[in-house]
Amino acid sequence: MKKYAMVVGMLLAAASWCHATVIGINDFESYANTLELRAEWANTANVTLSLNTTEFHSGNQSMKYDYNNGASPWYSKAEYFLPGIEWGVSGQDWTGTTELSVWYKVTAAKEPLRFVLVDTYGANVFVKTIGVVPVGDWTEAIVDLTAADSNGKLLSESEIARIARIDIVMGGQYYGAGTIYFDDISRTVVPEPATLAMLGLGALTLIRKRK
């Protein structure tokens, strides 16, 4: 019985040790100027991206996103290739990621805000439309990656293990212009119960071998 008490103890220790972890993706503090930001953030024709030092959620800087959807391709998109990925080969392994968090501030509103996760093969594997976000102060958009996206699609285990790009899209619905600032993009990782169960099994195996 002592051994089972030990296993339970180890499980509890593992559970408290494996709490949720927030992993920063981009806080826009590393860029010296707009050119450096644009080297990492590509954009479509209808959006102008710049480093901004007057509006920010953290630190001293954010990304200003000026768009005008009144011309082809009738939407705006900024693409951020995640560090360390090899396009077409391997992405970042986001296994265990439960949510994506992005802070934004709107000073001129017109179009619906949308976040898209793209895998290393260029497929849009998770599309979440937040909607037309109103003018206001800094707001956190939390995208639940464990639930279905705006198309009713769930992220598969293989897709979440090869995330390569985050797209910030202002969808073409009203073909208008607006300005929105972005800061503090992060993701939260929570170990799955299966991981804890595996730890428990591992502990049991160890104890049995010691008999």
Q: Which residues bind Ca ion (CB under 5 A)?
A: 27-28, 56, 58-59, 61, 183
| For Ca ion, the closer CB: 37 or 160 | 37
| For Ca ion, the closer CB: 31 or 175 | 31
- How many other β-carbons are positioned within 10 Å of the β-carbon of residue 155? 20
C-alpha torsion angle, residues 84, 144, 14, 93 (rounded to 10): -20
Please tell me the distance from the alpha carbon of residue 157 to that of residue 163, in angstroms, as a whole number: 11
- Distances in Å between the Cα of 45 and the Cα atoms of 30, 50, 70, 72, 76 are 25, 14, 11, 8, 7
C-beta of 112: minimal distance to Ca ion in Å?
24
C-beta of 107: minimal distance to Ca ion in Å?
17
| Residue type for position 183 | D
Instruction: Name the closest residue to Ca ion (Cβ).
Output: 59
| For Ca ion, the closer CB: 111 or 183 | 183
C-beta of 182: minimal distance to Ca ion in Å?
9
C-beta of 86: minimal distance to Ca ion in Å?
28
The reply to whether omega before 134 is within 30° of 0 (cis) is no
C-beta of 49: minimal distance to Ca ion in Å?
15
Please tell me the distance from the alpha carbon of residue 183 to that of residue 69, in angstroms, as a whole number: 22
Q: Residue written as tokens 């949308």?
A: 114
| For Ca ion, the closer CB: 8 or 23 | 23
| For Ca ion, the closer CB: 28 or 41 | 28
Provide the token pair at 3. 């051994």
